[in-house]
Amino acid sequence: MKTPDHMTRPILRLSPKRALLLLTLCLLSACQSMVTPGDPLPSWREGPRKQAILDFVHAVTDTASSDYVEPADRIAVFDNDGTLWAEKPLYFQLIFILDRIRTLAPQHPEWKRTEPFRSALAGDMAALGKQGEKGLMQLMVAAQSGMTTAEFRTIVVDWLDSAEHHRFDRHYTELIYQPMLEVLAWLRANGFETWIVSGGGQEFMRPWAPDIYGIPSQQIIGSMMEVQLDQRDGKPVLVKIPKLHLIDDKEGKVIAIHRFIGKRPIAAFGNSDGDLAMLQWTAAGKGRSLKTLIHHTDATREWAYDRKSPVGRLDKAMDIAKTRHWVLVDMARDWKQVFSFQK
Amino acid sequence: MKTPDHMTRPILRLSPKRALLLLTLCLLSACQSMVTPGDPLPSWREGPRKQAILDFVHAVTDTASSDYVEPADRIAVFDNDGTLWAEKPLYFQLIFILDRIRTLAPQHPEWKRTEPFRSALAGDMAALGKQGEKGLMQLMVAAQSGMTTAEFRTIVVDWLDSAEHHRFDRHYTELIYQPMLEVLAWLRANGFETWIVSGGGQEFMRPWAPDIYGIPSQQIIGSMMEVQLDQRDGKPVLVKIPKLHLIDDKEGKVIAIHRFIGKRPIAAFGNSDGDLAMLQWTAAGKGRSLKTLIHHTDATREWAYDRKSPVGRLDKAMDIAKTRHWVLVDMARDWKQVFSFQK
């Protein structure tokens, strides 16, 4: 075998002066991942909440600190709806489901006469609310089963490309919180693995969340429907079948964290009572941990809601956050900017 | 705030000569992750199987190749029993379960009179075999539920510390295949994420597999029992309850890959018909992929078994591997060394 040319040549020929320049560049590039130039959380106003997040990250990454945590154990979990992106007036996935029911209606003339489809097609949210969780589940299943997982991905992508949020005339994927994007990026720059642990559908998030949040599909956990292995044109496919597999909410989030990660997170971010169990699970770890709740207090730039909201209710978790001195982010006060398009 | 001393000083003062030396060191260190000195698979004999693995990795990591795959999509999945460690005379987890049934027997005097416990306690494998899958499930559940996940971890670690494999007088965690450790390490050095997708228990593997294989808990998928969130001494705990959640075998492996990874693997390693669906799923991807089966052909250093073995049966998958020209590793011929203690 002929030895390739580059293996016999000296790696570089350069003058000492040029070497000094190159060395400087080389060192600067090596240092890049350690030094954060300026403020890592520019959309956060100075104050106790920002400081608590900064202090926590410094403490667990400083090898001289008694709170130091090995990179392999730097697990941070994030709820999605109301924590990374907005959830009003309805969870965006529910809007997707209602849109899809309308799209499918011509193939199901019987839907005009049967609940919960009748109310869904009429856009009668009050009547739909009376159908309860069971009704919602029926819509969910009708809208999201019968196709392959690849087909479902296309359906989600197409909807996100065309649908717009009525209040902001923006795509739903633009309604993400700029300050949280900075937290995600800064945690990753400090060796954290960032995970989504959402009550929303895993397969609804995976088509867009990797690009939008920088979180790969294998770190996205959500509610799941059953799938089954089938054959189409001699090739294996996974088909979504009309049965729920897992509701990733409340204690379901703790169970999912155990199954998917197998390590206790040291940082958890949520915004509702559905995240309480996950934050308590994080708090029950041995070392230092960060428990953060986003309190929606900004009716001008976003929405203001908490104890009485049917979507994203923050009630019991808020009381516990106050008692335990968790980080309770006041959106109006703590965030200079909410959405990136609101600069 | 006082500016720290190191922020005002120039980073380094050095002569051009010294700079050249440092630059060389710096470049060498930067190159370390790209250049593999010598043979990355020293326990593999030269031949078509070793070459197929080497060629595949070169092709998908070479940016000039039409088979190039972005690092984010370099997913490699491995079965565990019979692929990464041995599985004879019985799956090691089954030996653990039988040992544990013996340990628990004094608390269950009724087991002496009821199947499948009677046969398990008598060590009567033939009678146990007649109890079928249902009997096995009963043993599994009795041995592995009722405790917290943390307690179960300790039980597994204690067993592995004390139990020994009868044929080799070695701990079970020593019965891992040296050539496969090299494949794991080499794939990771080439930007792959390595995953275990095993029919064995996820919670049985997680206490030891990260150290032994270098695979973190969040990349270990296996069969799972249900867990439930409970409180002990005012703290949340997860308790293993006597109900199966997921059998990660056959088509279950494909479903688990979809849920846990959400990307199609480009490399899959297995050894039995239980891995066939996972290999076919890998093969159905668009780009180049590597499908590998370990054929146990070495009765001297390990075991020889295939089509008729109740444990690790390799029958249908072997036929398909031959038809499709998958990599069918002949353990006796292709591996210089099987276990690392057999040097």
The pLDDT tens digits for A41-88 are 999 999 999 999 999 999 999 999 999 999 999 999 999 999 999 999
Please indicate if any CB of chain B lies within 8 Å of the CB of A241. no
Please indicate if any CB of chain B lies within 8 Å of the CB of A337. no
How close A37 gets to chain B, by Cα (Å)?
A: 12
Please say which residue of A113, A131, A162 terminates a domain.
A162
B231 and B312 inside one domain: yes
Measuring CA to CA, how many Å separate A63 from each of A28, A57, A71, A222, B116? 22, 12, 11, 34, 53
Nearest to B218 among A22, A30, A261 (CB): A261
Using an 8 Å CB-CB cutoff, list chain B residues near A254.
229, 236, 238
Give me the tens of pLDDT residue by residue for chain B, a chain 343 residues long. 344 444 334 444 455 555 555 555 545 444 444 434 689 999 999 999 999 999 999 999 999 999 999 999 999 999 999 999 999 999 999 999 999 999 999 999 999 999 999 999 999 988 988 888 889 889 999 999 999 999 999 999 999 999 999 999 999 999 999 999 999 999 999 999 999 999 999 999 999 999 999 999 999 999 999 999 999 999 999 999 999 999 999 999 999 999 999 999 999 999 999 999 999 999 999 999 999 999 999 999 999 999 999 999 999 999 999 999 999 999 999 999 999 998 7
Please indicate if any CB of chain B lies within 8 Å of the CB of A20. yes
Residue B133: CB atoms within 10 A of its CB come to: 8
Nearest to A263 among B20, B24, B218 (CB): B218
Using an 8 Å CB-CB cutoff, list chain A residues near B238.
254-255, 258
Name the band, by pLDDT with cuts 50, 70 and 90, for residue A109. very high
Using an 8 Å CB-CB cutoff, list chain A residues near B19.
16, 19-20, 23
Number of separate domains in chain B: 2
In a domain, A225, yes or no: yes
Q: What pLDDT is recorded for position A343? A: 73
Q: Answer yes or no: do A251 and B229 touch at CB < 8 A.
A: yes
How close A293 gets to chain B, by Cα (Å)?
A: 19
What is the mean pLDDT of the segment spanning A7-23? 49
Give pTM, 2 decimals.
0.89
Could you write out the DSSP letters of every residue in A46-110?
Answer: SSHHHHHHHHHHHHHH-TTSTT---GGG-EEEE--BTTTB---SS-HHHHHHHHHHHHHGGG-GG
Q: Answer yes or no: do A27 and B11 touch at CB < 8 A.
A: yes
Yes or no: say if B340 and B176 are a contact pair by the CB < 8 Å rule: yes
Please indicate if any CB of chain A lies within 8 Å of the CB of B64. no
How close A278 gets to chain B, by Cα (Å)?
A: 10
Please, is B322 exposed, middle or buried when counting C-beta atoms within 10 Å of its C-beta (0-12, 13-18, 19+)? Answer: exposed
B127 and B216 inside one domain: no
How close B276 gets to chain A, by Cα (Å)?
A: 12
Q: Pull the structure tokens for residue A126.
A: 């009050």
In a domain, A25, yes or no: no
Residue A176, amino acid: I
A102 and A83 inside one domain: no
Interface contacts A/B by beta carbons within 8 Å: 101
Question: Distance between CA atoms of B125 and B98, rounded to whole angstroms?
Answer: 11
Question: Distance between CA atoms of A283 and A287, rounded to whole angstroms?
Answer: 9
Longest dimension (CA), chain A: 84
B81 and B102 inside one domain: no
What is the mean pLDDT of the segment spanning A251-261? 98
In a domain, B22, yes or no: no
Using an 8 Å CB-CB cutoff, list chain A residues near B235.
284
Which residues, 6+ apart, have CB-to-CB distance to A261 below 8 Å?
A75, A77, A195, B217, B218
Yes or no: say if A188 and A216 are a contact pair by the CB < 8 Å rule: no
Residue A236, amino acid: P
Please say which residue of B138, B162, B186 terminates a domain.
B162
Q: Answer yes or no: do A277 and B12 touch at CB < 8 A.
A: no
In a domain, B188, yes or no: yes
Q: Pull the structure tokens for residue A170.
A: 């923006």
Q: Pull the structure tokens for residue A335.
A: 């965030």
Please indicate if any CB of chain B lies within 8 Å of the CB of A260. yes
Q: Which CATH number does the domain housing residue B180 bear?
A: 3.40.50.1000
In a domain, A182, yes or no: yes
A300 and A206 inside one domain: yes
| A139: pLDDT strictly greater than 80 | yes
A186 and A317 inside one domain: yes
B292 and B205 inside one domain: yes
The set of long-range contacts for B302-305, using a CB threshold of 8 Å and a minimum separation of 24, is B302/B86, B302/B88, B302/B331, B302/B338, B302/B339, B303/B86, B303/B88, B304/B332, B305/B88
Nearest to A236 among B16, B217, B280 (CB): B280
Please, is B71 exposed, middle or buried when counting C-beta atoms within 10 Å of its C-beta (0-12, 13-18, 19+)? Answer: exposed
Yes or no: say if A333 and A47 are a contact pair by the CB < 8 Å rule: yes
Please indicate if any CB of chain A lies within 8 Å of the CB of B103. no
Please, is B242 exposed, middle or buried when counting C-beta atoms within 10 Å of its C-beta (0-12, 13-18, 19+)? Answer: middle
A82 and A133 inside one domain: no
Q: Answer yes or no: do B12 and A27 touch at CB < 8 A.
A: yes
Residue A229, amino acid: L
Angle between helices B48-61 and B178-189 (to 10 degrees): 20
In a domain, A252, yes or no: yes
In a domain, B23, yes or no: no
Could you write out the DSSP letters of every residue in A276-320?
Answer: HHHHHHHHTSSS--EEEEEEEE-TTTS-EE-TT-SSS--SHHHHH
Please say which residue of A138, A162, A186 terminates a domain.
A162
The whole-angstrom distance between residue B204's C-alpha and the CA centroid of its chain comes to 11
Q: Pull the structure tokens for residue A67.
A: 């709170």
Residue that is written with structure tokens 């799941």 in the block: A224
- E strands in A123-219: 193-201
| A224: pLDDT strictly greater than 90 | yes
B212 and B292 inside one domain: yes
Yes or no: say if B191 and B128 are a contact pair by the CB < 8 Å rule: no
In a domain, A114, yes or no: yes
Using an 8 Å CB-CB cutoff, list chain A residues near B254.
229, 236, 238
Q: What is the CA radius of gyration of chain B?
A: 24
User: B301 lies in which domain range?
Assistant: 48-89+172-342
Measuring CA to CA, how many Å separate B186 from each of A7, A308, B55, B70? 21, 55, 13, 17
Please indicate if any CB of chain B lies within 8 Å of the CB of A132. no
Please indicate if any CB of chain B lies within 8 Å of the CB of A258. yes
Question: Distance between CA atoms of B326 and B53, rounded to whole angstroms?
Answer: 11
Q: What pLDDT is recorded for position A15? A: 55
Yes or no: say if B23 and A28 are a contact pair by the CB < 8 Å rule: no
Which residues, 6+ apart, have CB-to-CB distance to A332 below 8 Å?
A297, A298, A300, A301, A304
How close B198 gets to chain A, by Cα (Å)?
A: 14
Q: Answer yes or no: do A262 and B217 touch at CB < 8 A.
A: yes
A77 and A110 inside one domain: no
Q: Which residue of B29, B202, B258, B324 is the best one to mutate when testing the A interface, meaning the one whose CB has the most A CBs within 10 A?
A: B258
What is the mean pLDDT of the segment spanning A327-340? 97
A226 and A276 inside one domain: yes
Please indicate if any CB of chain A lies within 8 Å of the CB of B114. no
| A2: pLDDT strictly greater than 70 | no
Please, is B286 exposed, middle or buried when counting C-beta atoms within 10 Å of its C-beta (0-12, 13-18, 19+)? Answer: exposed
Residue that is written with structure tokens 């965030």 in the block: A335
- Residue A41, phi then psi, degrees to nearest 5: -125, 65
Using an 8 Å CB-CB cutoff, list chain A residues near B277.
229, 236
Yes or no: say if B111 and B117 are a contact pair by the CB < 8 Å rule: yes
B285 and B202 inside one domain: yes
